[in-house]
């Protein structure tokens, strides 16, 4: 049955648990007059999730759609069903994703931890050596002539022992020396390593039934194919439509390669796939903004869901979870709960897409005391690389579509 055309239509993939389910609940709390379509692979779990939402939102208009973004045929058929149900699509949340058989790379963890520590020590040692060879004490008490009121050790080669060392340039350098802590490792970089899992996680990947790497198929290509097959529903009647990708701070340029964009030769397929979504989002804005479609990417932060729980055995999480709540004092990316992780997604639901920056990733953040907010960070994206990748994915789409037509799977 088609949804009333007056209602805004919101479709969420991977909606039956975790971030997807929390997102559905929060959007219904924002606007209970929308029509919510929960696109899920497992219909039994989808029915349970729908029942849970109806308990807290009794009057909600919710429908279910069987959709497996890890399978080309399922995406094509799902898109056809969506086109039959709805006259327009206002919000498409591309949330479904997989991180198969994640493994913690202990060697990378130790290397990252200690290389960051000793690298900082080397930098500080060089900084100290530069400013104390040979040296003399300018004065014992702050000098009124010096605008910074500094006294201490200065480089006698650069600044002979006269008051000439007080000139603006020299004082600024000296001030920098006194302001920077000596032999104090940059804890922010270490916390960032934990928060992004940069280089710490490896995954096992395999070819899907369609002959595409499964992580790339599920996290990237399946969603791209869905967008392409729903073009007729975007930007209808002069209104705008939004596509919102669930990306990650783990999206890494270093793991992505145009010559192996499916990441068949590496072990960080998840990180590569999330960077690929960032690239596609940028190009979708380039090619579709004039048609009323706008694309954004969000990072939910570090959230405790089934995906993350699979990384370590249960005993680990029992021990470490209380510690994570303490770590959140030092890093805003530890959102931890699915509810907190949806903050940026819900914020985008309330924004005019025309006003958004296509080169920005919107991060869900949580303060040390638990307050949620949205932070923006520029993405490390090369426009030319993004366009080349976009064209390659279009070629893959054409190949898969032709294959389906030949085999008659979509008849």
Going by the DSSP 8-state scheme, the letter that residue 252 receives in this structure is -
Q: At residue 301, what are phi and psi to the nearest 5 degrees?
A: 80, -170
Q: 237's torsion region: left (phi>0), alpha (psi -120 to 50) or beta?
A: left
How far apart (Å, rounded) are the C-alpha atoms in residues 362 and 280? 16
Rg (CA), the chain: 26
| Three-state SS letters, 129-167 | HHCCCCEEECCCCCCCCCCCCCCCEEECCCCCCCHHHHC
DSSP 3-state percent helix, strand, coil across the chain (nearest 5): 50, 15, 35
Q: What span, in angstroms and rounded, lies between the C-alpha atoms of 230 and 252?
A: 29
Q: Checking DSSP bridges between strand 153-155 and strand 61-66, what pairing results, if any?
A: unpaired
Tokens of 386: 């993004």
* Helix H or strand E encompassing 112: helix 106-130
Does the annotation count 270 as an active-site position?
A: yes
Pairing of strands 61-66, 35-40: parallel
d(CA 65, CA 78): 7
Q: 372 has which bridge partners?
A: 366
Return the structure tokens found at 363.
């991060």
Longest Cα–Cα distance in the chain: 89
Instruction: Assess contact for 48 and 22: CB atoms under 8 A.
Output: no
Cα 241 from Cα 323, distance rounded (Å): 41
Three-state DSSP at 400 gives helix
Q: Report DSSP letters for 154-223, one per residue.
A: EETTTS-SSGGGGSHHHHHHHHHHHHSPTT---HHHHHHHHHHTTTTEE----B-TTSSBHHHIIIIIHH
Catalytic option among 91, 261, 270, 275: 270
Residues forming the active site = 270
């Amino acid at each position: 049955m088609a949804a009333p055309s007056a209602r805004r239509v919101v479709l969420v993939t991977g909606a039956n648990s975790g971030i997807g389910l929390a997102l559905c609940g929060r959007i219904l709390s924002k606007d209970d007059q929308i029509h919510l379509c929960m696109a899920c692979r497992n219909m039994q779990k989808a029915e349970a999730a729908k029942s849970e939402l109806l308990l807290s939102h009794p009057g909600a208009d919710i429908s279910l759609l069987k959709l497996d973004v890890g399978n080309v045929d399922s995406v094509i058929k799902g898109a056809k069903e969506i086109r039959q149900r709805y006259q327009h699509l206002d919000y498409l949340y591309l949330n479904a994703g997989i991180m198969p058989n994640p493994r913690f790379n202990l060697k990378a963890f130790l290397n990252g931890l200690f290389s960051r520590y000793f690298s900082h020590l080397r930098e500080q040692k060089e900084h100290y050596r530069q400013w104390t060879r040979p040296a003399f004490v300018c004065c014992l008490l702050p000098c009124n002539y010096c605008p910074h009121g500094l006294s201490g050790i200065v480089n006698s080669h650069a600044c002979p022992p006269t008051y000439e060392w007080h000139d603006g340039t020299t004082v600024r350098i000296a001030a920098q020396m006194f302001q920077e802590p000596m032999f104090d490792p940059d804890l922010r970089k270490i916390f960032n390593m934990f928060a992004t899992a940069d280089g710490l996680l490896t995954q096992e990947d395999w070819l899907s039934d369609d002959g595409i790497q499964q992580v790339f198929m599920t996290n990237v290509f399946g969603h791209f194919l869905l967008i392409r097959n729903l073009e007729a529903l975007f930007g209808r009647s002069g209104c705008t439509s939004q596509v919102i990708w669930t990306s990650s701070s783990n999206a890494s340029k270093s793991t992505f390669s145009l010559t192996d964009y499916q990441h068949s030769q590496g072990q960080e397929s998840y990180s590569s796939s999330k960077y690929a979504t960032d690239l596609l989002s940028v190009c979708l804005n380039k090619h579709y903004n004039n048609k009323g479609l706008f694309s954004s990417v969000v990072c939910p932060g570090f959230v405790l869901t089934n995906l993350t729980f699979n990384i370590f055995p249960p005993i680990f999480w029992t021990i470490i979870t209380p510690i994570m709540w303490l770590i959140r004092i030092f890093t805003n990316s530890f959102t931890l709960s699915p509810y907190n992780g949806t903050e940026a997604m819900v914020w985008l639901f309330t924004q005019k897409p025309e006003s958004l920056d296509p080169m920005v990733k919107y991060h869900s953040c949580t303060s040390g005391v638990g307050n949620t907010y949205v932070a923006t960070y520029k993405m490390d994206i090369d426009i030319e690389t993004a366009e080349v990748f976009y064209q390659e994915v279009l070629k893959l789409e054409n190949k898969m579509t032709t294959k389906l037509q030949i085999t008659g799977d979509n008849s």
